[in-house]
Amino acid sequence: MSSIRSDVLGPHLNLKRLPHGEGLYLPGYETTGAAGMDLRAAVTADEPMVLSPGRRALVPTGFIFEIPFGFEAQIRPRSGLAFKHGITCLNTPGTIDSDYRGEVKVLLINLGDEDFVIERGMRIAQMVIAPVTQVLVAEVTETSDTARGAGGFGSTGV
């Protein structure tokens, strides 16, 4: 799949393809109800990236995303890669700010026990667009009482 769909209701996402993203599929929803669009590795075709066990790498996607104001993009691991190879996103969920105009990159880490070869066009992670709220910050001397109070970290039991 990964073609442009016109039946998705939601805000518009502009993408700018970078020279090293030439020829890659556009990120897209793989199924009708997918939450995330898969991101592909824009590594060089004749020089795949090898991620040894315990190592991490920033993998280019080949695109700049213009996330609409009021939204963010979250970069999340693909469960298949995590289950089969121990490949995950180190900073999950990675946060893409709506005002970021650099290339989106995916910070992968190999928690498996074998080398993992990242080839050009491989779907390495997924990106979820989510609404965010910015709040007005105000310093106060007292906060409201609640039943929970300061209880946390297992205070309600198992």
Q: Give the residues lining the site for ligand DUT (CB under 6 A).
A: 75, 91, 94-97, 100, 104-105, 107
Residue labelled with tokens 């498996």: 112
Q: Are strands 116-118 and 71-76 parallel, antiparallel or unpaired?
A: unpaired
Q: What is the DSSP string of 109-147?
A: EE-SSS-EEE-TT-EEEEEEEEE---------S-----S
Distance CA 22, CA 32 (A): 26
Q: How far is the CB of 89 from ligand DUT (least distance, A)?
A: 7
Q: How far is the CB of 94 from ligand DUT (least distance, A)?
A: 2
Q: Which of 26/64 has CB closer to ligand DUT?
A: 64
Q: How far is the CB of 71 from ligand DUT (least distance, A)?
A: 12
Binding residues: 78-80, 91, 95-97
Binding residues for substrate: 78-80, 91, 95-97
